[in-house]
Copies of this chain bind each other. A is one copy, B any other.
């Protein structure tokens, strides 16, 4: 969806290289991870799917299936080893080696992300910010320099940065994406509410707040003025 997820993150027309794990499962893994780290901190060493499911609101089968994708193997009756499971998820998600990223759009949202130190625990380090606003270029936000967008593609190449984050207004997003592609960036985390046009081999994930907002307001509207009642199922 988003994904895409889409989840947020909704898959595009078709993926040439089908992922070996469903997008929703991938999205649930960090939840398990967070939960497990908490368990470990409390000194718990073994855990079962039923327990995880019970605590997190999923059914055990689903949890087991998700975890299986990471390659972990559990033992009947006792479940999984907590530290092993944590490692397994981290390895699977590639959280061991850090991805360095460039962020473009030093507005409210961009600033928030720049200040989010916790990302570094999950394999992400934002190393610099970019903007086109002369007022912002040259500033330091949360210890990261704000540079001119012109420099992006060159720097990305030289520093081998593979991940780009777009937090610009919708209008600017496509141009930024083009620039990123030019700089050899492989994956884009896009917070602008537009569908980016990029070469097939570039990974794009949209974090579209308006999609969520749409769901929420639709459901709320539906709850408060229910009169329409589903178009009169004839």
A-B contacts, 25 listed (Cβ < 8 Å): A1-B2, A1-B3, A1-B211, A2-B9, A2-B212, A3-B212, A5-B5, A5-B9, A5-B211, A6-B8, A6-B24, A7-B9, A9-B212, A10-B27, A26-B214, A30-B211, A34-B194, A56-B195, A94-B222, A95-B217, A124-B213, A163-B216, A187-B216, A187-B220, A207-B207
Q: Does A139 contact B (CB under 8 A)?
A: no
Residues of B close to A130: CB separation below 8 A: none
Q: Mark A2-39, 1 if CB is under 8 A from B, else 0.
A: 11111111101100000111011011111100100000
Contacts A8-B27, A31-B208 known; list 15 others, CB within 8 Å.
A1-B3, A1-B8, A5-B5, A7-B8, A7-B9, A23-B215, A27-B214, A31-B193, A31-B195, A93-B214, A94-B217, A95-B217, A162-B220, A187-B216, A207-B209
Residues of B close to A187: CB separation below 8 A: 216, 219-220
Q: How far is the CA of A10 from the CA of B231 in the complex (A)?
A: 26
Q: Mark A200-228, 1 if CB is under 8 A from B, else 0.
A: 00010101111111111111111110000
Considering only residues 68-100 of chain A, those with a C-beta below 8 Å from chain B are: 71, 92-95, 97, 99
Q: Does A109 contact B (CB under 8 A)?
A: yes
A220/B108 in contact, CB under 8 A: no
**Tier of interface size on chain A:** 35 or more
Q: Does A230 contact B (CB under 8 A)?
A: yes
Q: Enumerate chain A interface residues (CB-CB to B < 8 A).
A: 1-10, 12-13, 19-21, 23-24, 26-31, 34, 56-59, 71, 92-95, 97, 99, 107-109, 111-113, 115-116, 119, 122-124, 162-163, 170, 186-187, 189, 193-195, 197, 203, 205, 207-224, 230-231
Q: How far is the CA of A221 from the CA of B167 in the complex (A)?
A: 23
Q: How far is the CA of A66 from the CA of B123 in the complex (A)?
A: 36
B12/A3 in contact, CB under 8 A: no
Q: How far is the CA of A205 from the CA of B217 in the complex (A)?
A: 11
The chain B residue with its CB closest to the CB of A98 is B217
A216/B193 in contact, CB under 8 A: no
Query: In the assembled complex, how far is the CB of residue A1 from the closest CB belonging to chain B, in whole angstroms?
Result: 2
